[in-house]
Chains A and B, each alone.
Chain A
Amino acid sequence: MTQALQHLLNTLVLGGTYALLGIGLTLIFGIMNVVNFTHGALYTFGAYAAYLACAALGLDFFLALPVAILAGLALGALIELVLLRPLRGSDMDTTMLVMIGAGIILQSGTLWIFGGVAKAIPTPFPDAPLQIGPVSLSWLRVFVFAAALALIAVTYGLINGTRLGRAMRASFQDADTAALMGVNVGFIYTATFAIGSALAAAAGALLGPVYVVFPQMGDLAAVKAFAIVILGGLGSISGATIGGFILALAEEFGAGYVSSGYRDAMGFLIIIAVLLVKPTGLFARAERIG
């Protein structure tokens, strides 16, 4: 019982960051129809940005997350402007290949600059965990969970409650008509890719201190992000949120009750199962952003 409670608690923590990863990916796919193969690299990038902010610049730990988010926004905008904008209107395969290439360049660049040795991000939290009845949670994980929830809430607010978000949804539903309303659809694409990238970077910056930071950390994160998006239905933000928590649940309980070696297999299992049973995703509203 206690063990199950502990797993549930871990699920919440992990699910929050997974949801961020998934929302970023699904947003980009939903609005731009781009399968973002740099998503894993952006996750790694966020973790390294946080590491640099803390270790090299000596910034406060709590500033590392905003630094990583801003860096993710900037890199995302750059990728969109340099790679995706000139490719708009070309077929999906071309875009995919270019994005795969960009992902490889980013990962190799990280390896080249930082080397293959894993880095740890120091945190200011006390060693003693937070005790909640029979279960416990490190303060770092409490922070990660709270920050992830806050970022999910901000993203929902942005999409559903702002002029930019409304223009993003309009562009997704009907780009030509959005243009007729005066929306600068090109800018919306840049903003969407930047926001999606920033969410991936945020997830990396949040999980970086929980685990360690290394150049290939994004590979598995990308698989998980795809699993979440497939689970939630392509283009569905609420689907990606729920999908993030479901994947975390599957991983926690798979690792806890089957074998810890299966933890990272859960993402693949979910992709296969969903594609076999319900290829449109469990919460399929594939035609909808929101």
Chain B
Amino acid sequence: MLEIRDLVCAYGQVAALKGISLQVGAGQLVALVGANGAGKSTTLRAISGLVKPRSGSILFEGRDVTGADPRRMLGLGIAHCPEGRRVFPHMSVAENLAMGAYLRHDAAGVRQDYARVYADFPRLAERRAQAAGTLSGGEQQMLAIGRALMSRPKLVLFDEPSLGLAPNIVEQVLSIIRAIRDGGATVLLVEQNAYAALELCDHAYLLEAGRIVMSGPGAELIADPHVRAAYLGGEVETAHRIRA
């Protein structure tokens, strides 16, 4: 569904991506993990068109969409749920959702999707007239997810959706993302919470300093000694202990 070939991105003189290639198959949940500054957000920003690549190509459903602007990418069916939630703080919950459906003109379908988001996130329904900036972090993340879904995307890019959330909310967010995949959408998930992402995904890529250094099924990366040492630390043991 999505294919990236030799993608190079830079901010001024700073190279953020030094030629990465990756693939996301239709209906898959693919994780992209890596340390701070590895280039995860830049990858997503390049896909959604916020950052223009220096070279390389991006193919979506077989079409070359390299360098297309965000409006075009959204129109093609790619929604980007950005790092740090980025809800519009002075707009109501309902207006934020309306922004998610900005390009849509099928009023009836949009109404259906409001109803679905409110059904999935009852907290948002209760707070629909409230300014998004006054919501809790978890509620804002739900809103950011709901907003991304309002465009009825084929592919959703999630950038660190668990950032700064309490552990029980993290669980909830991750299960929502799994449900989105199960509902038929394709997901590319960037996570600092490497263990959870690797456990959840169908396939994973490990990004280090602008290069993909490893890829494979999540379980394979979890089992890899380098990944365990550098990214999972005590997490695997802790996670098993919590589960036990």
Instruction: Please give the residue numbers on chain A whose beta carbons come within 8 Å of chain B beta carbons, in ascending order.
Output: 163, 166-167, 169-170, 173-174, 176-184, 287-290
Contact = CB atoms under 8 A, between A and B. Distances in A.
B52 to A, nearest CB: 13
Interface of B: 48-50, 69-71, 74-75, 79-80, 82, 86, 88-91, 95, 98-100, 102-103, 147, 151
Contact of B74 (A167, A180, A287, A290): A180
Contacts of B103: 181-182
Contacts of B95: 166
A290 B90 contact: yes
B91 A173 contact: yes
Contacts of B48: 180
Contacts of B50: 176, 179-180
A167 B102 contact: yes
Nearest to B96: A170
B180 to A, nearest CB: 17
Contacts of A163: 102
B91 A181 contact: no
A183 B90 contact: no
B46 to A, nearest CB: 13
Binding site secondary structure of chain A: helix
Nearest to B103: A182
17 contacts: A166-B91, A166-B95, A169-B91, A173-B89, A174-B88, A176-B86, A179-B50, A179-B69, A179-B70, A179-B71, A180-B79, A181-B103, A181-B147, A182-B151, A183-B71, A183-B102, A288-B90
Given A180-B48, A180-B74, A184-B71, A169 B102 contact: no
A174 B86 contact: yes
A172 B231 CA distance: 38
B133 to A, nearest CB: 9
B82 A181 contact: no
The list of the 4 closest CB pairs from A to B, nearest first, reads A182-B103, A177-B86, A182-B74, A179-B70
A184 B102 CA distance: 11
Contacts of A179: 49-50, 69-71
Contact of B88 (A169, A182, A184): A169
Contacts of A182: 70-71, 74-75, 102-103, 151
A173 B85 CA distance: 13
B90 A178 contact: no
A173 B82 contact: no
Given A174-B88, A179-B70, A182-B103, 13 more contacts: A166-B99, A169-B88, A170-B88, A173-B89, A176-B50, A176-B86, A177-B82, A179-B71, A180-B70, A181-B99, A181-B100, A181-B147, A184-B71
Contact of A170 (B49, B82, B91): B91
A288 B50 CA distance: 24
A173 to B, nearest CB: 5
